[in-house]
């Protein structure tokens, strides 16, 4: 019957439209209709969270804003206390993408894109310390601290030859770190350069070592095992890196310890 045939064709077209719509980047990456981005809220290399308003500024905020614009969806920034918390949110489906540094251990739990931000890592020491460059710290008897399982701890634990890392549960407050170094309870603390520069500016008794022991690739992470979704994220990442969005954001935020990554060729 004509009516049945027409109904069948309309139903088929509707199903086709739904199927095509489900394959759009927005639906792949942000299935709830909002791009939910979790990041390390206490890492100044990524961004800063206003304690009163909760507003986020800096590279991660500008990057996610442009990412969501390209998807044609609104976005939500989710400051998180540490990397395990971001990974937990990705696995629970309460975040779509996460921002933190790649390492092989984390890659067993989530999938990573190439870098979008490059984060140099170094030491902060006493101003009168004999440690002038990072190689000076790799000597017997030098007491180095870093946050347990963070990028710095993982890298140094695998690469120091003459001393080892004393891993601590959390990043000390600036005043506590100044006391630890001043009282010679430690000789150096390892962290990302932006964090160390900010501490060094507040405490003239401290100094950031001139060079870096490692440049970490800050990447985008998603749940493991979805290559099509990962490819969709990487495509938009590459489009953004081909612009000046990240570079401009770094300059506007006055950051001196991070750099924009280059687009993948």
- Do residues 209 and 236 share a domain? no
- Do residues 106 and 222 share a domain? yes
Q: Does residue 168 belong to any structural domain of this protein? A: yes
**Hey, how many other C-beta atoms are within 10 angstroms of the C-beta on 237?**
22
Q: Does residue 228 belong to any structural domain of this protein? A: yes
Query: Quick one: pLDDT at residue 215?
Result: 96
- Do residues 66 and 139 share a domain? no
- Do residues 138 and 253 share a domain? no
- Do residues 28 and 88 share a domain? yes
- Do residues 97 and 21 share a domain? yes
Q: Residue 208: which CATH number?
A: 3.40.190.10
Going through the chain in order, the beta strands assigned E by DSSP cover 35-40, 48-49, 56-57, 75-80, 97-101, 110-126, 144-147, 165-168, 188-192, 206-208, 214-223, 259-260
| Domain that residue 164 falls in | 120-215
The pTM (predicted TM-score) of the whole model is 0.83
Q: What angle do CA 8, 9, 13 make, to 5 degrees?
A: 120
pLDDT in tens, the chain (265 residues): 444 444 444 444 444 444 444 569 999 999 999 999 999 999 999 999 999 999 999 999 999 999 999 999 999 999 999 999 999 999 999 999 999 999 999 999 999 999 999 999 999 999 999 999 999 999 999 999 999 999 999 999 999 999 999 999 999 999 999 999 999 999 999 999 999 999 999 999 999 999 999 999 999 999 999 999 999 999 999 999 999 999 999 999 999 889 999 998 7
Number of structural domains in the chain: 2
Q: Does residue 169 belong to any structural domain of this protein? A: yes
- Do residues 36 and 111 share a domain? yes
- Do residues 9 and 100 share a domain? yes
Query: Quick one: pLDDT at residue 69?
Result: 98
* 47 touches 113 (CB < 8 A): no
- Do residues 100 and 160 share a domain? no
- Do residues 148 and 211 share a domain? yes
- Do residues 143 and 198 share a domain? yes
Going through 127-262 in order, the beta strands assigned E by DSSP cover 144-147, 165-168, 188-192, 206-208, 214-223, 259-260
Q: Does residue 265 belong to any structural domain of this protein? A: no
* 216 touches 106 (CB < 8 A): no
Place of tokens 């004509």: 2
- Three-class SS state of 92: helix
- Do residues 194 and 247 share a domain? no
- Three-class SS state of 102: coil
What span, in angstroms and rounded, lies between the C-alpha atoms of 124 and 24?
Answer: 46
């Amino acid at each position: 019957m004509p009516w049945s045939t027409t109904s069948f064709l309309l139903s088929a077209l509707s199903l086709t439209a739904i199927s095509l719509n489900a394959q759009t980047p927005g639906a792949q990456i942000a299935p709830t209709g909002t791009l939910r981005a979790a990041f390390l809220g206490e890492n100044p290399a990524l961004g800063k969270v206003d304690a009163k308003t909760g507003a986020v500024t800096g590279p991660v905020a500008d990057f996610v804003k442009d990412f969501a614009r390209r998807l044609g969806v609104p976005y939500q920034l989710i400051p998180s206390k540490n990397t395990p918390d971001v990974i937990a949110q990705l696995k629970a489906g309460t975040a779509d993408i996460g921002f933190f540094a790649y390492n092989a251990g984390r890659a067993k739990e989530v999938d990573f894109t190439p870098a979008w931000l490059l984060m140099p890592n170094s030491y902060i020491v006493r101003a009168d310390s004999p440690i002038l460059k990072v190689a000076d710290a790799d000597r017997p008897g030098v007491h180095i601290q870093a946050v347990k399982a963070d990028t710095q701890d993982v890298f140094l634990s695998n690469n120091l030859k003459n001393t080892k890392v004393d891993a601590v549960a959390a990043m000390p407050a600036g005043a506590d770190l100044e006391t630890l170094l001043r009282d010679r309870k430690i000789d150096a603390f390892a962290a990302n350069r932006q964090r160390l520069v900010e501490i060094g500016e507040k405490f003239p008794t401290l100094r950031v070592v001139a060079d870096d022991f490692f440049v970490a690739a800050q990447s985008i992470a998603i749940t493991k095992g979805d290559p099509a979704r990962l490819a969709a994220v990487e495509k938009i990442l590459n489009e953004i890196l081909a612009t000046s969005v990240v570079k401009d954001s770094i300059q506007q935020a006055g950051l001196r310890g991070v750099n924009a990554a280059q687009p993948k060729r």
